[in-house]
Amino acid sequence: MPLKFWVASAVCAALPDIDVVSFAFGVRYNEMWGHRGITHSFSFAFLLSVAVVLLFFRDVPLLSGHWLLLVSYFFIVTSSHALLDALTNGGLGVALFAPFSNERYFFPWRPIQVSPIGLGFFSWRGLRVLMSEIEWIWLPSAVLVLLSLAVRRKGG
């Protein structure tokens, strides 16, 4: 895949946390525009995925199978951020269905340490969060990548 695909993937995975900027404008955490609010919703993920494909993959025919596959991929990448946040052990939950509902959700099993917002990330607590993310996100992701490469190599 071209570089723009990988850059867009990384941006879509991280962009939901742009909502931390709302604190500077006095928006409270639990509000629709607060942290883990609308930018963590499936609606946001869908709109962002469509925008990414329209802006960066103009050569792909609109509504073609490839176009729909790209939109689906970027939707999953963006939504994964919110779903992983719903696996954390802190905060107020994730507004998965905003703007239709501001109800916040967590999964019943929450093994990932919640990350401190701001400079608190660069502390012992931040290091514990990083270790938790390595254990619950990065290592399983690496295993999936290695398995997919092995399957691809075996099939090719």
pLDDT tens by residue, 81-131: 999 999 999 999 999 999 999 999 999 999 999 987 776 677 888 888 889
Q: What are all long-range contacts of 78-82, with beta carbons under 8 Å and residues at least 24 apart?
A: 78/12, 78/13, 78/15, 78/16, 78/44, 78/45, 78/48, 78/49, 79/42, 79/45, 80/13, 81/13, 81/14, 81/15, 81/16, 81/17, 81/40, 82/16, 82/36, 82/40, 82/41, 82/42, 82/45
Q: What is the pLDDT of residue 123?
A: 81
Q: Which residues, 6 or more positions from 132, have their beta carbon under 8 angstroms from its beta carbon?
A: 111, 112, 113
The residue-averaged pLDDT of 128-145 equals 91
Q: What is the mean pLDDT of residues 28-39?
A: 96
Q: What angle is formed at CA 88 by the lines to CA 87 and CA 91, rounded to 5 degrees?
A: 125
**pLDDT tens by residue, 67-85:** 999 999 999 999 999 999 9
